Amino acid sequence: MSFEAITSIAGAEAQAKASAAAAELKSKQMLSDAETAGKAAVEAATAKAELELSELSKKANEKAKSDAGGLSGELENKKAALRAKAEAKLEQAAALVVERIVNN
């Protein structure tokens, strides 16, 4: 082989090594960038999900309080009606007891 051929081959080998090193460095940088972007996307999605969960929880609590307030009012009305019936029957029962005592 001639000296020029050997020099050309050595230059091509050096250039190939430099290209391979540059490609490896670029691939590592791309991988690092992709990991960083992936972590940022996961963090953003987590933050969004936490915000949505907080809003849904707040709405659910408000609805539960509203529903409980409605049921409480309804139960108070039923309780008052039952108390009125019981008091009316108590008066009737007392009158019946007095009548039986007086008549006996």
CA distance 77 to 88: 17
Q: How confident is the model at residue 1 (pLDDT cuts 50, 70, 90)?
A: low
Spans of all domains in the chain = 1-74
Structure tokens at 62: 């408000």
- Sign (positive or negative) of CA dihedral 56, 58, 62, 64: positive
What's the whole-model pTM score? Answer: 0.52
pLDDT in tens, 17-49: 999 999 999 999 999 999 999 999 999 999 999
